[in-house]
A and B are shown apart, each in its own frame.
Chain A
């Protein structure tokens, strides 16, 4: 195990942010902590990266106890936070040299390492420019490159693709996948189910400071409905008739809409429409929803994600 936590708790004032979190992350795997804004993801990362002291609980990272050997933990980890952690007054290259110096690498080794990373992340052309001139994706890549200078065993990525355009997001995903090739353990937080699904070997779902589920993406998806149809109606009478015809459905009286679970296949869609036809119920409109974080939450916690940001 690369990361193990037991009963992590943290409150700020009377606001409980983490309420007993137990995690296990196997070495060389990608682990994703999934949850909406305010679930406690960043606090967990801040605790595990020694920035914040937990109120209770313990953690071991790369074999070192967080409370008693913080410096050994620091030497083993790298963090790319949600907020850009580059020196905006230094050029891309100077930022990497700075990291090399702080990792006490010999000068030549540091220069070589910086050049390799710039090349690997396609930043060589921008090497002599300051990050203010970079795009969001380039900045994020430089940020990650800085994290990699010290050859960390465990890398924390706090929402690594939030705010990136779809193309930069794909590039970032490829980069993250490549990292595990060298046996590095990745601890990543995200609010996107598809991101966790794409990257993670195992996922833990965090809600209001508690873990509500933990498992492989497939295990989790089995617990999540395959998606749903949303049917809209002209008036409450039609809605009620439709709800009577489709047993597993959930009506929403205010929106005059009916939510019908589906596995996403054409035949299941046809079956629903056939039932409505048979009862002569007229629906105004229909949309098909594939499962998202909201569905995971609804099925795991019984409530929708609350945006706390």
Chain B
């Protein structure tokens, strides 16, 4: 019992440490939050008119805001995950991690602190991005239940990508590598149905777009918020998230348990 409560207490201590880092050096947080906002404005105001007309209706920009917002929400999550990989990799270069390892504290707390910190940061980011989307014309049809479900799916994706990013941060030999690998997460929504329908792509790409993990997540969030058909995307989205999160969690744990040979 005491072991469990100490583990929880250590995790809270580590979370406080990470939140303090974020507050004191907000530049990384701001950059990660700025990225999806820039994408949102770029895709709505620069590409939105043309892309919106290509969606089939004649909705133009107004229709495209609805189409692209779920993808931007995914970009928000992916962007924050990238930040986790960087901050974990940076942390591992600090001598203080060696100190933590020589103390009688829960080993998992060091990673849990990062994960919970990122999740909090991402939720705030999602709120801000949703607010801006609403301000530029996003008009969802969702009721309270759909909003809650969409939030749940995005939260699940956040936790999954964050654990994967922790592993990528741990496995990276340098901070630079750590900031490059998770770029894939930022790219994937583009290679799916996030920004344009997958049907409009060449065969090989379309095949990839239809089967990659971000597509069912985008389709689910879009379906929940705008009432478009979801089909089996919901279950696929949950399955992918559990898989990514599970692998990320186990991989992180084994990487962290590994000795650092200086």
In-complex Cβ contact of A101 among B13, B96, B261 (8 A): B13
Q: Which residues of B contact A75 (CB under 8 A)?
A: 104
Contact call A71/B96, Cβ cutoff below 8 A: no
**Any B CB within 8 A of the CB of A188:** no
User: Which residues of A, 41-93, contact B by the 8 Å Cβ criterion?
Assistant: 42, 46, 49-53, 71-72, 74-75, 77-79, 81, 83-90
The CA-CA distance from A150 to B98 in the complex, in Å, is: 16
Q: Are A102 and B13 in contact (CB under 8 A)?
A: yes
Contact of A146 with B99 in the complex, beta carbons under 8 Å: yes
- Choose from B96, B105, B259 the contact partner of A87 (Cβ within 8 Å): B96
Q: Which residues of A contact B262 (CB under 8 A)?
A: 42, 46
Query: Within 8 Å CB of A72, what residues of B?
Result: 104
Q: Which residues of B contact A46 (CB under 8 A)?
A: 262
A42 partner residues in chain B, CB cutoff 8 A: 262
Q: For chain A, give the interface size range.
A: 20 to 34
Closest to B24 in A: A89
Task: Say yes or no: is B102 at the interface (Cβ < 8 Å to chain A).
Answer: yes
Q: Which residues of B contact A84 (CB under 8 A)?
A: 95
What is the CB-to-nearest-CB distance from B93 to chain A, in angstroms, rounded to a whole number?
A: 10
Assess the B102–A79 pair: CB atoms within 8 A.
yes
- For the complex, give the distance between the alpha carbons of A53 and B262 in Å: 13
Q: Nearest chain-A residue to B261 (Cβ)?
A: A12
Main secondary structure of the interface of B (DSSP, over half): helix
At the interface, yes or no: B144 with Cβ under 8 Å from chain A?
A: no
CB distance from A213 to the nearest CB of B (A): 27
Question: Do A85 and B104 touch across chains, with their CB atoms under 8 A apart?
Answer: no
Of the candidates A81, A89, A90, the one whose C-beta lies within 8 Å of that of B99 is: A81
For residue A76, which residue of chain B has the nearest CB?
B104
| Contact B95 A102, beta carbon cutoff 8 Å | no
B contact residues around A53 at 8 Å (CB): 259
Complex Cα gap A74–B94 (Å):
20
| In the assembled complex, B173 has its CB within 8 A of some CB on chain A | no
**Whole-angstrom distance between the Cβ of A54 and the nearest chain B Cβ:** 11
The listed residue (A51, A86, A104) touching B9 by CB distance below 8 A is: A104
A283 on the interface (CB 8 Å rule)? Answer: no
Query: B101, A86: Cβ atoms under 8 Å?
Result: no
A86 and B24 form a contact (CB under 8 A): no
Would B103 and A74 count as touching, CB distance under 8 A?
yes
Task: Check A51/B101 contact, CB under 8 A, given A86-B96, A98-B13, A102-B13.
Answer: yes
- Check if B96 sits within 8 Å of A51, measured CB to CB: no
Once A12-B261, A98-B17, A102-B103 are accepted as A-B contacts, the answer to whether A81 and B98 lie under 8 Å apart by CB is yes
Binary contact readout B3-24 vs A (1 if CB under 8 angstroms, 0 otherwise):
0001001100100110011001
A89 and B21 within 8 A (CB)? yes
Instruction: Give Cα A53 to B95, complex, Å.
Output: 19
Given the complex, which residues of A lie within 8 Å of B99, measured CB to CB? 79, 81, 85, 146
List the A side residues contacting B260 at CB < 8 Å. 51
Bound together, the chains give a CA A104 to CA B96 distance in angstroms of: 18
CA distance A81 to B25 in the complex (A): 26
With a cutoff of 8 Å between Cβ atoms, the chain A residues found around residue B20 in the complex are 89-90, 94
Closest Cβ of chain B to A41, distance in Å, is: 13
Q: For A77, what are the chain B residues with a Cβ–Cβ distance below 8 Å? A: 102
CB distance from B153 to the nearest CB of A (A): 33
Name B10's closest neighbour in chain A (CB-CB): A102
Chain B residues whose CB sits within 8 angstroms of the CB of A78 once the complex forms: 102
Whether A52 contacts B98 in the complex (CB less than 8 A), given A90-B17, A90-B20, A102-B13, comes out as no
Cα(A89)–Cα(B95), bound, Å: 12
**In contact, A150 and B13 (Cβ under 8 angstroms):** no
Across the interface, name the chain B residue whose C-beta is closest to A48: B102
Residue-by-residue, is B97-121 near A (CB-CB < 8 Å gives 1, otherwise 0)? 0111111110000000000000000
How far does the alpha carbon of A106 sit from the alpha carbon of B260 in the complex, in Å?
Answer: 32
Q: Using Cβ atoms and an 8 Å threshold, which residues of chain A touch B13? A: 98, 101-102
Residue contact B96 to A49, C-beta cutoff 8 Å:
no
Chain A residues lying within 8 Å of B10, measured Cβ to Cβ, are 102
Docked Cα-Cα span, A295 to B259, in Å, equals 36
Query: Which residues of B are found within 8 Å of A86, using beta-carbon distances?
Result: 95-96
When the two chains form their complex, are residues A51 and B102 in contact, meaning their CB atoms are under 8 A apart?
A: yes
- Residue of A whose beta carbon sits closest to that of B260: A51
Q: How far is the CB of B221 from chain A (nearest CB, A)?
A: 34
Q: Which 7 residue pairs are nearest across A and B when measured between Cβ atoms? A: A85-B95, A85-B99, A74-B104, A75-B104, A101-B13, A83-B95, A49-B102
CB-defined A-B contacts under 8 Å, sample of 5: A50-B101, A51-B102, A75-B104, A89-B25, A101-B9
Besides A12-B261, A74-B103, A86-B95, 4 other CB < 8 A contacts?
A51-B101, A74-B102, A79-B98, A85-B95
